[in-house]
C-alpha cells in the first residue's frame, strides 16, 4: 500500500465489527445514491470493499469510495 492509499483509508471502518447492524448510504448496486440497512459481513482492506447482508436478504459488496455514510444501528425498525 503506498502513502497516498494509506491517507485515503477510511479510519472509521476500523471501529465496526462483524455481524454489526449498520445503516449504509452510498452508491449501492452501481446506481444512484441509496440508503439500506443490513448486517456487516466483512471488510476487505486489500480490495477496499465492504460486504453486508441487506435487509431484503441479498449480500452486497460496496467499494470504499462508493460509501458516503455508514452508521451503526441498535436494531431494525419493524414499523
Q: What is the pLDDT of residue 37?
A: 92
Q: What is the pLDDT of residue 34?
A: 82
Interval 23-64: pLDDT, tens: 988 887 667 778 889 999 999 999 999 999 998 889 999 999
Which domains can be identified in the chain, with CATH numbers?
16-72 (2.30.30.520)
- Name the pTM for this structure: 0.74
The whole-angstrom separation of Cα 75 and Cα 37 is 10
Beta-carbon contacts of residue 11 (< 8 Å; ≥ 6 apart): none
Q: What is the pLDDT of residue 29?
A: 66
- With beta carbons less than 8 A apart as the criterion, state whether 50 and 16 touch: no
What grid cell was written down for 53?
447482508
The whole-angstrom separation of Cα 15 and Cα 54 is 20
What grid cell was written down for 39?
448486517
Amino acid at each position: 500500500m503506498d502513502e497516498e492509499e494509506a491517507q485515503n483509508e477510511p479510519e472509521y471502518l476500523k471501529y465496526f465489527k462483524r455481524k454489526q447492524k449498520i445503516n449504509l448510504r452510498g452508491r449501492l448496486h452501481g446506481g444512484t445514491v441509496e440508503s439500506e440497512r443490513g448486517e456487516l459481513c466483512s471488510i476487505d482492506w486489500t480490495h477496499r470493499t465492504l460486504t453486508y447482508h441487506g435487509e431484503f436478504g441479498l449480500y452486497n459488496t460496496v467499494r470504499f469510495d462508493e460509501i458516503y455514510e455508514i452508521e451503526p444501528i441498535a436494531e431494525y425498525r419493524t414499523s
